[in-house]
Amino acid sequence: AQRVTQPEKLLSVFKGAPVELKCNYSYSGSPELFWYVQYSRQRLQLLLRHISRESIKGFTADLNKGETSFHLKKPFAQEEDSAMYYCALRFDYGQNFVFGPGTRLSVLP
Amino acid sequence: EAGVAQSPRYKIIEKRQSVAFWCNPISGHATLYWYQQILGQGPKLLIQFQNNGVVDDSQLPKDRFSAERLKGVDSTLKIQPAKLEDSAVYLCASSLDFSDLRQEGAFFGQGTRLTVV
């Protein structure tokens, strides 16, 4: 069963426009959710995690347990935000760490 | 701090040959993961170690894939014999003790791009 879904393979927005990358998960317990980003020719790196409720590079994500979602948002997209974004779920007390299929964000000038 | 190191960066082999990948995690990280990332897909967990023990290998094709972390530090992932569908990027990641809820998630290496021809 696919635990993490990201419905959009590609999302294109113009610079300065708001952006929302969708992530839904399936897990009945207490999930730990993360967003990872992979810029061109760089390694996969952690962007943010729900437990810290932080804002990184202007991005925020709120865990909605009722909708089982963890959407990533930024009010004003920048060209340097263009990258692959992966939502990830850790569950079973850390014994499983699975990733979604990813969304490619393209910010147009 | 030094990141997760992987080698080689690239490997091309013929089908039915064998291949091995090496990973050196961040110092002090007890948990080590191997992921397979096929082009256009998200990383798929193959195996997870806690020190030198296996936590989860349910998605590892054990008829051809094997992995070890004998001393609880470095790890190797082997494929024998390789198939065309094994062409992918193999990612190694590490984190602090997976049961520690304060940890920040996993840190990834650059990956090894395997092409099977």
Whether A99 and A5 have beta carbons less than 8 Å apart is answered as: no
pLDDT grade, residue A52 (50/70/90)? confident
Dump pLDDT digits (tens) for A17-37.
Answer: 999 999 999 988 888 899 999
In degrees rounded to 5, what are phi and psi of residue A51? -70, -25
Whether B105 sits inside 8 A of A88 (CB atoms) is: yes
pLDDT at B19 > cutoff 80: yes
With beta carbons under 8 A apart, name residues in chain A contacting B30.
none
Distance (Å) from the C-alpha of residue A52 to the closest C-alpha of chain B?
Answer: 9
Taking an 8 Å cut-off on Cβ atoms, the answer to whether B45 and A86 are in contact is no
Euclidean distance between CA atoms A87 and A99, whole angstroms: 6
B1 CB within 8 Å of a chain A CB: no
CB–CB of A100 and B42 under 8 A? Answer: yes
> How much of chain B exceeds pLDDT 90, in percent?
74
Q: Is B42 on the interface with A (CB under 8 A)?
A: yes
Secondary structure (3-state) at B92: strand
In chain A, the N- to C-terminal Cα span, in Å, equals 39
Establish if A32 touches chain B: CB-CB under 8 angstroms.
yes
Q: Flag if B35 and A100 touch (Cβ within 8 Å).
A: no
Q: Is A77 within 8 Å of A19 (Cβ atoms)? A: yes
A14-18, A51-55, A61-65, A76-80: lowest mean pLDDT where? A51-55
Q: What is the dihedral of CA A66, A72, A73, A78, to 10 degrees?
A: -170
Range in B12-26, B27-41, B75-89 the model is least confident about: B27-41
Higher pLDDT, B68 or A54: B68
Mean pLDDT, all residues of chain A: 91
pLDDT digits (tens, 9 = 90+) for B95-112: 887 666 556 778 999 999
Selecting from B33, B42, B55 the residue whose C-beta is nearest the C-beta of A86 gives: B42
- The beta-carbon neighbor of B41 closest among A32, A49, A101 is A101
A1 pLDDT band, cuts 50/70/90, is: low
pLDDT for res A45: 92
Q: Please give the pLDDT value at position B5.
A: 96
Q: A102 near A86, Cβ under 8 Å?
A: yes
Three-class SS state of B83: coil
Cα(B54)–Cα(B48) distance, rounded to whole angstroms? 6
How far apart CA B85 and CA B106 sit, in angstroms, is 26
Instruction: Name which of B55, B59, B97 to mutate to probe chain A: the one with the most chain A Cβ atoms within 10 A of its Cβ.
Output: B55
B2 lies within 8 A of chain A by CB = no
Looking at residues A56-79, what average pLDDT do you find?
Answer: 93
Average pLDDT on B37-50 reads 92
